[in-house]
Chains A and B, each alone.
Chain A
Amino acid sequence: AQSVSQHNHHVILSEAASLELGCNYSYGGTVNLFWYVQYPGQHLQLLLKYFSGDPLVKGIKGFEAEFIKSKFSFNLRKPSVQWSDTAEYFCAVNSNNDMRFGAGTRLTVKP
């Protein structure tokens, strides 16, 4: 069955630390890839997306993600996190309108 795996359930970092959240998927065909973020008490919102072209995607708030097709991965990165990045992050993969989400990674940034 198609699946999306997020390796870390909870990540705790200090401000200014670098962040990398892992995401792997099991789809074999053409995929569209997403990272969503849910700040405490707020809606899920799109952080960035990959449809085609440059596999290094820039998103809002300094986030970026790299699509590595050979590794079926779409890891999220940020060079220097802020306290306001504390949130839950979800990776999602869409193939032929079949959208699947990972279990989410909770990020806590300590001031």
Chain B
Amino acid sequence: SQTIHQWPATLVQPVGSPLSLECTVEGTSNPNLYWYRQAAGRGLQLLFYSVGIGQISSEVPQNLSASRPQDRQFILSSKKLLLSDSGFYLCAWSVISEQFFGPGTRLTVL
């Protein structure tokens, strides 16, 4: 069966520090991968999606970036965090339309 891992589960970072959140998927090949940010009352905002290694599409211009160095690995990064980057970040994968979500990372920027 397929499994999706995210780490860390929680993270507290100072403003201006770098960020790296990792997501890995097991049990499937060539999945579509997604990064979302979930904010209270605003649902899920799609940040990035990837249909293959090295292929990244950005939905919202911001100081975050994403990379897909391996088929089942998706990384969300920032060079300098802003206060507004605080939130709950979800990784998801899909093969045919339906998406499956990871446990999420709660990021607090102080």
**Roughly how many angstroms separate A51 CA and B103 CA in the complex, as a whole number?**
26
**Roughly how many angstroms separate A101 CA and B99 CA in the complex, as a whole number?**
11
| A99/B94 contact (C-beta < 8 A), A43-B103, A43-B104 known | yes
**Roughly how many angstroms separate A94 CA and B99 CA in the complex, as a whole number?**
10
Q: Which residues of the other chain, B, contact A56 by a CB distance below 8 angstroms? A: none
> Chain B at the A interface: mostly helix, strand, loop or mixed?
strand
Q: Indicate whether B90 reaches chain A with its CB closer than 8 angstroms.
A: yes
Q: Indicate whether B46 reaches chain A with its CB closer than 8 angstroms.
A: yes
Q: Which residues of the other chain, A, contact B97 by a CB distance below 8 angstroms? A: 32, 51, 94, 97, 99
Interface contact tally, CB-CB below 8 A = 45
> Chain A at the B interface: mostly helix, strand, loop or mixed?
strand
| A103/B41 contact (C-beta < 8 A), A34-B98, A51-B97 known | yes
Please count how many residues in chain A sit with their CB below 8 Å of the partner chain's CB atoms: 21
Q: Which residues of the other chain, B, contact A101 by a CB distance below 8 angstroms? A: 36, 43-44, 46
Determine how close the nearest CB of chain B comes to the CB of A88; give it in whole angstroms.
9
The 8 A-B pairs with the shortest beta carbon distances in the complex, nearest first, are A103-B43, A101-B44, A44-B101, A32-B97, A101-B43, A104-B43, A94-B97, A102-B43
18 CB-based A-B contacts, threshold 8 Å: A6-B43, A9-B41, A43-B103, A44-B90, A51-B97, A90-B43, A90-B44, A92-B99, A94-B98, A97-B32, A97-B51, A97-B97, A99-B94, A99-B97, A101-B44, A102-B43, A104-B41, A104-B42
